[in-house]
Structure 1
């Protein structure tokens, strides 16, 4: 497995085109590989856009093969002065152990199934509001091999708010056309930052390499870790 980071040059027209549609960016990411993995049960290509406090935008990719981002550099980077960074992700994944604590970031598509009328199929509907969106992730802790750390008691907090070390931010509503479909695809995405503890390393490694939740082709599902 490999972890890749590429900074996007926001001043270039090509970058604006890429960022305008998850469908376009997905196609560009996938064209970085000479061969694609079998997604039947194996690791898949995951990607995410990160924006930092200095208004810099990075494309993060986790993949079974090394990507070649030459086309992205030419279209949306700095061809003569900056390229991309790729790291061997396998040794890091292998070292994950029970009880390890990590700061994490995840962009996801938090949805739930809703049936509007009796007898009709359920429909995937976006969670609205930070508390419902946070609950979506908390409900997936056990099955994903981690638990989110708890905060001090409410009386110790200035705002007396949530009990978990979890922040939900950067809500985005995306609408884009997909080839062969008349109606646009619509997605709601949010980004989670927080602190977690590994409870099942094997299950957690699978989540890091297979993704969490839906809409993985459109920049959702990739969780990355940093020192707590």
Structure 2
């Protein structure tokens, strides 16, 4: 896709919506179920998987001086624009960039490693967070920390990647379907464009797992 819709949705305007609450007395911004329902609910009834049909990617952005908001990217215009206070929707084009061009970027990722292990004869998936760059024990053990891990994830499209800010959130809730815990790593950085076509592909499709819960959305801006 070349054109898309970019929506800025204040979180506080979604926390009280009855169609998101589903009878729950109150929601927590750190609930992965809330984040999923709140964002997917912006698009009304879509047959099949709303996230895949509308190519929905989103993340929680926190900018000093502003209330937290969801930044939502989609190929379908949200239907809820007129009923949610402060919601803003723009039709956009992905930027045309040149190899070697310097950009700033923001991305939300599920920065974990999954390893299949055997426990009592059964196969289980072990999930471990990617260590942060200042984790001295991980560095001493030769483990890959967040910056080189991110460089690998973006290697087809960007190079000379430097992390400027990194915030790790652990989202958790529990319900009748069992407990859910999702790790979301919000990263800001600077890089150079390596392959503009590959970069547009990452911008359109997102990166990694847990896209339904606010991971995967990459944004870039030329310096």
TM-score scaled by structure 2? 0.74
- Partners of 1:54 and 1:84 in 2: CA distance: 17
Does the aligned pair in 2 maintain the 1:141–1:148 contact within 8 Å? no
SS in 2 for 1:23: helix
- Classify the secondary structure of the residue corresponding to 2:43: coil
Alignment-derived partner of residue 51 in structure 1:
62
1:189 and 1:72, CA in 2 relative to 1: closer, same or farther beyond 3 A?
Answer: farther
Give the C-alpha shift of residue 70 in structure 1: 4.2
Q: If each structure's strand is expressed as a fraction of its own residues, which one has the higher value?
A: 2
Secondary structure of 1:130's counterpart equals coil
2:30 is the counterpart of 1:33: no
How far, CA to CA, are the matches of 1:42 and 1:97 in structure 2?
30
Q: Residue deviations 1:25-60, cap 9 Å, x none? A: 212211222446878988720011111222521210
- 2:99 and 2:195 in contact (8 A); partners too: yes
After TM superposition, list the pairs within 5 Å mapping 1:171-210 onto structure 2: 171-177=168-174, 181-182=177-178, 184-210=179-205
Q: Is 2:207 aligned against 1:212?
A: yes
Partner of 1:96: 97
Aligned pairs (5 A) from 1:78-93? 79=85, 83-90=86-93, 92-93=94-95
Structure 1: gaps (5+ residues): 74-78, 150-164
How many residue pairs get matched?
Answer: 199
Following TM superposition, by how much is the alpha carbon of 1:203 offset from its aligned partner in structure 2, in angstroms? 1.7
**Equivalent position of 1:140 in the other structure:** 153
RMSD: 3.1
Secondary structure, aligned partner of 2:76: coil
Could you tell me which of 208, 224, 227 is aligned with 2:219?
A: 224
Unaligned 5+ residue runs, structure 2?
Answer: 18-25, 135-144
Q: Which runs of 4+ in 1 moved over 6 A?
A: 36-43
Deviation of 1:173 after TM superposition, in Å, equals 1.3
